[in-house]
Amino acid sequence: MSDSGFIGEVAAVGVAGQALIDADSDVEAVAQWLAEYGESPQTQRAYRREAERLLLWLDAEGRRLGEVDRQCLARFEAFLADPVPRAQWVGPTKPRHDPAWRPMRGPLSPASRRQSLVILQGMFSWLVEAGWVAHNPFRLMRDKSRRLNNQAPRVERYLEQPLWEWFWRWLHRPLPSDSSRACFERARQRIIFAFAYLLAPRISEMAGAQMGDFHRREGRWWWQVVGKGGKLAHVPVPDDFLVYLAQWRKTLGLAPLPEHEESTPLLRALDGKRAIGDNQLYRLIRKSFKDAARALEEQEGETAYVAALQSATPHWLRHTAITHQAQAGVSLRYLAESARHSRLETTSRYLHTEAQQWHDEQQRHRLSQAPSLDGL
């Protein structure tokens, strides 16, 4: 891959039809679509990744966006499942300007392929409205309702309650060393996971959190956050979080609870002062999950739980937090408020109670002579 950047990677192409946007190439048209998400940096980065993959693949195919048809989409989806030649498309994480950079880390899972197509479907809808392409090829897909419906299936990427409880105990294991650095890193690790589990933030919201975002109003503590789409929200802070916040602040040499408008970072680098960015926070969380997976494997823990920890990403924490709140009986209305979902349908994906009740009811249907599992 060239290191000339996204714009330089794909050749300029002509406009299909009467464009309503000021663009001279597919790349410029897509850049204008991405600019619509400027107030949601995380969303913008995710959408940029999917659009970039498509544009680079089309460039290799010698096609333009306006030439994408149903058969082309089928080939692209097959490519996402098996990106060949691998040397051209697959590689480890590198800076975008590095010659060794590749657009993919490996084949995409069915869920990731589906998400990619959902994003690109929206991109094509915008490009049709902008007059850049004449049609949206996704509308020709017969199985569109199965794969491209924005109503995603029930959330499954979360840590089940027993696994989370084991993981939380693991975070409180004895320190291998009583050095100041080891104590700092353990305290930071605990506040990261307490924050993620108790308040269900997105990773950008965690990295950007300030001490003063936690404030008391009429005797109760709230977390003020500007989330996805630039929406301001105030989320109730559980008392358990205040315990770990106080412990973290003690590690930093601060008073137990934040002062009014205390404009310093919540999560900090090893110097105890500088903030940490999204990428560093992502790596810290992933490392914790992988370390925990190795520890559980050494304890000969359940194989499925070891695999879950090995696969877990920071966003699993948000899923875990919302799912466990639902299982604890938090009502759908308040669950949606805490998760800051714009639609209740999104929150309902985290409700597993019906499935559990269905499973319990199904146990009424029995075989008269069936032995018990305990006896096998």
User: What does the H/E/C string look like for the chain?
Assistant: CCCCCHHHHCCCCCCCCCCCCCCCCHHHHHHHHHHCCCCCHHHHHHHHHHHHHHHHHHHHHCCCHHHCCHHHHHHHHHHHHCCCCHHHHECCCCCCCCCCCCCECCCCCHHHHHHHHHHHHHHHHHHHHCCCCCCCHHHHCCCHHHHCCCCCCCCCCCCCHHHHHHHHHHCCCCCCCCCHHHHHHHHHHHHHHHHHHHHCCCHHHHHCCEHHHEEEECCEEEEEEECHHHCEEEEECCHHHHHHHHHHHHHCCCCCCCCCCCCCECCECCCCCCECCHHHHHHHHHHHHHHHHHHHHHCCCCHHHHHHHHHCCHHHHHHHHHHHHHHCCCCHHHHHHHHCCCCHHHHHCCCCHHHHHHHHHHCCCCCCCCCCHHHC
User: Quick check: 256 pLDDT over 60?
Assistant: yes
Is the alpha carbon torsion for 25, 28, 29, 30 positive or negative? positive
Q: Give the pLDDT of residue 111.
A: 78
Q: Give the pLDDT of residue 142.
A: 61
Q: Which residue has the higher pLDDT, 225 or 250?
A: 250
| All structural domains of the chain | 6-147 (1.10.150.130), 161-359 (1.10.443.10)
pLDDT tens sequence across 29-65: 999 999 988 877 777 888 999 999 999 999 999 999 9
**What's the residue count for the chain?**
376
Q: Give the pLDDT of residue 263.
A: 92
Determine which of 19-23, 25-29, 241-245 has the lowest per-residue pLDDT on average: 19-23
Percent of the chain exceeding pLDDT 70 equals: 80
Percent of the chain exceeding pLDDT 90 equals: 45
Determine which of 63-77, 125-139, 276-290, 317-331 has the lowest per-residue pLDDT on average: 317-331
Q: Give the pLDDT of residue 8.
A: 42
Q: Give the pLDDT of residue 324.
A: 87
Question: Span 93-109, mean pLDDT?
Answer: 88
Question: Span 115-128, mean pLDDT?
Answer: 90
Q: What is the mean pLDDT of the chain?
A: 82
The CB-side HSE value for 29 (13 A sphere, CA atoms) comes to 29
Question: Span 299-316, mean pLDDT?
Answer: 89
User: Quick check: 272 pLDDT over 60?
Assistant: yes
Q: Give the pLDDT of residue 301.
A: 86
Question: Span 1-21, mean pLDDT?
Answer: 50
What band does 1 get if pLDDT is binned at 50, 70 and 90?
very low
Question: Span 11-22, mean pLDDT?
Answer: 59
Question: Span 211-218, mean pLDDT?
Answer: 92
What band does 352 get if pLDDT is binned at 50, 70 and 90?
low
